[in-house]
A and B are shown apart, each in its own frame.
Chain A
């Protein structure tokens, strides 16, 4: 008999405690970010697709050594370069990234000893076409600069 009433009593009390918690939560500020209207800044270690790093003149720092191309386990990177007339260093003319196969492993970024590529903070990448994920990183670099 006593157990019966204690059970009812403790049960009832636990319900009130629960209601107390939700009551307090009700008056706390909301934590949602209303996504299309507001966006968060991505954390420093967030990995988007890779992008080219620019030097002071706004050009790519890449020396076209091709190490990143070889380092990529999924064959995502295709690049080409040429020596301009009179110039000493090779200049990047094409840098294609096939993002459909990229696993964001980071081998390419790690293999580049010139700091020419890095992870971007890009995440708005929905599309219905596969072709939209073959990125021309040189063009993206230009677009970023303009």
Chain B
């Protein structure tokens, strides 16, 4: 175990590279996808299919000056973008991509990821608070109330899954679903739960992931039509770049968690060649769905958003929790 520290460092470096690459090319995918939905070509000038656009954008961002507005709280202002990126990177360390590809599997993996995920809203709060800008302030107030509202149903749903699996170890949760597609947690019958409500749990979890990552239709935090650019209005250069990377890293993590908790992780639907490729496939299908949803629905209102959580998702997920507990007791 002397190599552990080295392992972690390598893992963190790989995680940063993975996150940065993903952020860059998910932006590209997002812009191309959005364009296709709107029947435009999207970025197609730089390189084949516009594939050189992300690195060029990156260079442009890095070449810009980082300005700190007068009257801003300097330390908080600088901490915020780092705080947006850091939890996302840390979460990558504990996510198992396959039986062997995992930096540091922990018996409390689920807990750890949610603990880090909840730090993300801190960064939004810091950014909005320290910018000394009313739009940023409004935005971070919204973002935090949204995060509080959606973390609850998300955690309740996760508890449901954890109860079924009887473990908070992500590896263990995947292993229990690995026999065939029908054993995945999303399907009600053959799974460990025999719980008819599992597809709804999946939906609730997915909606919460959308809301937690501040994606459209829940992107009230950065509602351009009302709040300029929300909490990152005052950020330029790589400060903005880090927020952007953080957002996309969070999308990847949300999709990873959905894959692990509900879609059987790296296991194959037909029990053939389980491995990291299945994980990647499911991951990117989910991310494509994220993009698809973003360019389909208009932004909700803040009331609509909070009503959805407090009046629909929380009661339903609580009911589901009790129902699952009852089933586990009976069978």
A31 x B39 contact (CB < 8 A): yes
List B residues at the A interface (Cβ < 8 Å): 33, 35-41, 44, 203, 292-293, 295-297, 312
Residues of A contacting B203 with CB < 8 Å?
12
CB distance from B284 to the nearest CB of A (A): 16
B39 x A25 contact (CB < 8 A): yes
Task: Given A8-B312, A26-B33, check contact A32 B39 (CB 8 Å).
Answer: yes
Please report which residues of chain A, range 1-35, place their CB below 8 angstroms from some CB of chain B when the two chains form the complex: 8, 12, 15, 18-19, 21-23, 25-32, 34
B292 x A34 contact (CB < 8 A): no
Pick the contact of B41 from A15, A18, A22, A34 — CB < 8 Å? A34
The number of chain A residues touching the other chain, given as a range, is 10 to 19
In the complex, 5 of the A-B residue pairs with CB atoms within 8 angstroms, ordered by the A residue number, are: A18-B296, A19-B292, A30-B39, A31-B39, A32-B40
Task: Given A8-B312, A32-B41, check contact A19 B296 (CB 8 Å).
Answer: yes
A22 x B39 contact (CB < 8 A): no
Task: Given A8-B312, A15-B297, check contact A22 B40 (CB 8 Å).
Answer: no
A26 x B37 contact (CB < 8 A): yes
Residues of A contacting B39 with CB < 8 Å?
25, 28-32
Pick the contact of A18 from B35, B36, B297, B312 — CB < 8 Å? B297
Pick the contact of A22 from B35, B296, B312 — CB < 8 Å? B296
List A residues at the B interface (Cβ < 8 Å): 8, 12, 15, 18-19, 21-23, 25-32, 34
Residues of A contacting B35 with CB < 8 Å?
30
The 9 closest A-B pairs by CB, nearest first: A22-B296, A32-B40, A22-B37, A26-B36, A31-B39, A18-B296, A30-B39, A30-B41, A19-B296
Interchain CA distance A53-B99 in the complex, whole Å: 78
Q: Which residue of A lies closest to B308 (CB)?
A: A11
Interchain CA distance A28-B35 in the complex, whole Å: 11
Interchain CA distance A12-B202 in the complex, whole Å: 14
Residues of B contacting A21 with CB < 8 Å?
296
For the complex with contacts A21-B296, A30-B35, 18 further pairs of A-B residues with Cβ separation under 8 Å are: A8-B312, A15-B297, A18-B296, A22-B37, A22-B292, A22-B295, A23-B292, A25-B36, A25-B39, A26-B37, A28-B39, A30-B36, A30-B39, A30-B40, A32-B39, A32-B40, A34-B41, A34-B44
CB distance from B239 to the nearest CB of A (A): 33
CB distance from B93 to the nearest CB of A (A): 34
Interchain CA distance A29-B156 in the complex, whole Å: 43
Residues of A contacting B44 with CB < 8 Å?
34
Interchain CA distance A102-B7 in the complex, whole Å: 74
Residues of A contacting B296 with CB < 8 Å?
18-19, 21-22
Interchain CA distance A71-B17 in the complex, whole Å: 70
Interchain CA distance A145-B39 in the complex, whole Å: 40
CB distance from A14 to the nearest CB of B (A): 10
Residues of A contacting B295 with CB < 8 Å?
22
Residues of A contacting B36 with CB < 8 Å?
25-27, 30
B41 x A25 contact (CB < 8 A): no
Q: Which residue of B lies closest to A18 (CB)?
A: B296
Interchain CA distance A79-B16 in the complex, whole Å: 71
Residues of B contacting A22 with CB < 8 Å?
37, 292, 295-296
Q: Which residue of A lies closest to B316 (CB)?
A: A8
